Amino acid sequence: NPNAYREAEEVARRNRAVQDLYEPGSTFKVVTVSAALSTGLVTPRTRFTLPYQIKVADRWVHDAEHRGTETLSVAQILAQSSNVGIAKVAEELGPTALSRFLERFGLGARTGIGFPGESSGVMLPLDRWSAASLATISYGQGIAASLLQMASAYATIANGGLRVPPTLVAGVIDPSGTYAPRPTGDATRVISEATATTVTRMLAYAVQAGTGLNARIDGYQVAGKTGTAR
């Protein structure tokens, strides 16, 4: 079947890291926390009293594991990956501020890597957010990103809050042997270095004592975040 062969060839040549989109789920919580810390509305020690589930507009938001009402700090909310907790953090932040930080992290726009067919992701403009969007986007649902966009968001935190445009190659050597470096975009400040350091420590805590226990490596300090993608 020529059509089947053509479709199989297209799939084989597809660069899923830059072309395929997914709802990132809880790995996205790091963006919400970074935004809230940057605005000064919360600190890692700010505490919220959290039931197992809350109703936001027409939907229920609940955590992955059933539990009683607990009081958790922002650091614990991230480490334990509480959907209810991050929705409460986002409520403090508000939709306008969260939307602004999504753009600053480069979500909803191509990374500039220059690879053919790169997707810009899907981020609804603020005027199209529903009453539940603030909560759902805070934990990575209702927004679609590429793997490269999410990797870039985490690299921004690792780079001390600077977003550096990713590149595929360092440069090109022409037939004469002359090397020409590939032009790279300017780094942009997304969050302060102090905030990036704080978030990195929170991510290390998530691996040390939160849901990321399986990512621990003896002799190394690992920073990371679990998530269930769709």
Which residues belong to the active site? 26
Residue 59, SS3? Answer: strand
What CA dihedral angle connects 210, 215, 221 and 226, to 10 degrees? -50
Residue 8: per-residue pLDDT: 65
Q: Which stretches of the chain drop beneath a pLDDT of 70? A: 5-12
Rounded to an integer, what distance in angstroms lies between the CA atom of residue 98 and that of residue 29? Answer: 11
**29-39 and 95-104 are packed helices; what angle lies between their axes, rounded to 10 degrees?**
110
Residue 145, SS3? Answer: strand
pTM above 0.75?
A: yes
Rounded to an integer, what distance in angstroms lies between the CA atom of residue 67 and that of residue 166? Answer: 41
Residue among 27, 16, 35 at smallest CA distance from 140: 27
Residue 152: per-residue pLDDT: 95
Identity of the amino acid at 223: A
Residue 74: per-residue pLDDT: 98
Residue among 20, 60, 54, 56 at smallest CA distance from 229: 20
Read off the pLDDT of residues 162-185 as tens digits, 9 standing for 90 and up: 999 888 888 899 999 999 988 777
Residue 9: per-residue pLDDT: 65
Strand partners, 173: 179
Strand partners, 12: none
Angle at 222 between CA 218 and CA 224, to 5 degrees: 140
> Which residue's structure tokens are 């990374």?
111
